[in-house]
Amino acid sequence: MNLKKTLVGAALSASTLLSGAAYAESHSEPLTGELKIFLDTSNPAPRATMEAMIGRFGALHPDLEISTTVIDRDAYKTQIRNFLSADAPDVATWYAANRMAPYVNAGLFEDVSDLWEEPEIAENLASTKGAMTIDGKQWGVPYTYYQWGVYYRKDIYEELGLSEPTSWEEMKSNCQKILDSGRKCYTIGTKFLWTAGGWFDYMNLRTNGFEHHMKLAAGEIKWTDDSVRQTFANWRELIDMGAFVDNHQTYSWQEALPFMVKGEAAAYLMGNFAVAPLREAGLTDDQLDFYQFPKIDPDLDFAEDAPTDTFHIAANAKNKDAARAFLRFVVSTEEQTEINNAANLGQLPVNASASIDDDKFLNEGFAMLSSNSPGGVAQFFDRDFPAEMAAEGMQGLQEFMVFPDNLDDILNRLDKVAERVYK
């Protein structure tokens, strides 16, 4: 465990105070006492980003003593229940959706629905509200996320006279033309299973919608339900076409990148973290582009996978007024712009009024998540589903991609797992 406690001083340069100026004007109430913040951002860049942000907040509230405890991320996961139950901090980092459910259900996270009724948060964070909601209440605020979507070889599409697909039929038509050219439509590496989870997420979100997906994740819909079978039927259309690279179960997600780099596959359904290694491998932004996974059911709103990191107030917090003020500060337009820029987290701000660095993929992802995902924001298969269900589910999804004729056995098996997990 890497554990360090620091006291954040109040004296910062004038330039560091500028980003909090607008926040200070509208949130000028004096705060006193101690504010204890626990962070799992132990890697150097996110740690420095969080500590700088806390410093700016402290500078706006000089009578508030802020203590920050940074814990290694893996150790944090095993300790969070204990420290929330015992000598709880006021504020703690965690994750959205199902990953926060155990602590909500145990009464360890504070209901902060009142914050979500405030216009600044209600209007600017609307796309993430669903991910922060359990039983109709909100239990924290997000501070960063990143998009998933289809990254593709623009030069190959142009060579074949293809456009970004805007429908499921266009997506399949494009795929057939790519196959006819001797290439695979999609690279993927399912050796570590979770990438198959990404494909299932999008197939189900586009076939059945966000609410259905969340009900399945909550154990309210059986895997053998006809609606879920339709998701697999749609997915199988691509599998039967030969859309995916061969032997993908032997590759990690990184090991699948060269198929796209070499032009042997035209696209990758992946998170934005794939852009850096693709660029490092030699693909230019003229060769690489991005599109939103198209609709399958045209009547469904777009919903996206966008794994989201969060701040929460402990139910046993001693300084809840200061904690609420800190959460407001975290999601403010200025702070969202600052902490998510390329020099810091390098991800997307959750505040729709924030600004982002001039990177084409961040720009496209921000526009998509801020204004073109009204159906909701999912957290990714292994965050939305309980841990045991996710592990068994992803194994079944990989098996389906390799042996699609096993579908009945897979779905019956997953129903049995669900009976145990959701009992």
Instruction: Render 339-361 in DSSP notation, one character per residue.
Output: HTSTTTT-SB-SSTT----S-HH
pLDDT tens digits, one per residue of 63-80: 999 999 999 988 998 999
Q: Which one-letter DSSP state was computed for residue 292?
A: P
pLDDT tens digits, one per residue of 300-331: 999 999 999 999 999 999 999 999 999 999 99
| Residue 423 clears pLDDT 90, i.e. is over it | no
Token pair 């990438």 is found at: 195
pLDDT tens digits, one per residue of 170-185: 999 999 999 999 999 9
- The answer to which of 9-18, 56-65, 280-289 has the lowest mean pLDDT is 9-18
Q: Which two tokens stand for residue 67?
A: 């203590």
Q: Which one-letter DSSP state was computed for residue 144?
A: E
The pLDDT score that the predictor gives to residue 19 is 43
- Residue 387's pLDDT band, with cuts at 50, 70 and 90, is confident
Chain CA centroid to CA 186, Å: 22
Q: Which one-letter DSSP state was computed for residue 301?
A: P
Distance between start and end Cα atoms, the chain: 34
Q: 102, 95 in Cβ contact below 8 A?
A: no
3-state secondary structure of 161: coil
The pLDDT score that the predictor gives to residue 409 is 98
Q: Which domains does the chain have, with CATH numbers?
A: 4-145+306-354 (3.40.190.10), 148-305+379-421 (3.40.190.10)
Q: What are the backbone angles phi and psi of residue 341, rounded to the nearest 5°?
A: -70, 170
Residues with Cβ within 8 Å of residue 69, at least 6 apart in sequence: 3, 4, 5, 36, 37, 38, 39, 89
Nearest to 315 by CA among 132, 115, 92, 135: 92
CA distances from 119 to 44, 116, 308, 328, 368 (A): 34, 8, 21, 11, 22
Most confident of 77-81, 104-108, 338-342: 104-108
Q: What is the DSSP string of 219-245?
A: T-S-TTSHHHHHHHHHHHHHHHHT-BP
| Residue 261 clears pLDDT 70, i.e. is over it | yes
182 CB burial (10 A radius; 0-12, 13-18, 19+): exposed
Q: Which two tokens stand for residue 27?
A: 């949130």
CB hemisphere CA count around 86 (13 angstroms): 5
Nearest to 204 by CA among 224, 232, 223: 232
Nearest to 307 by CA among 377, 220, 370: 377
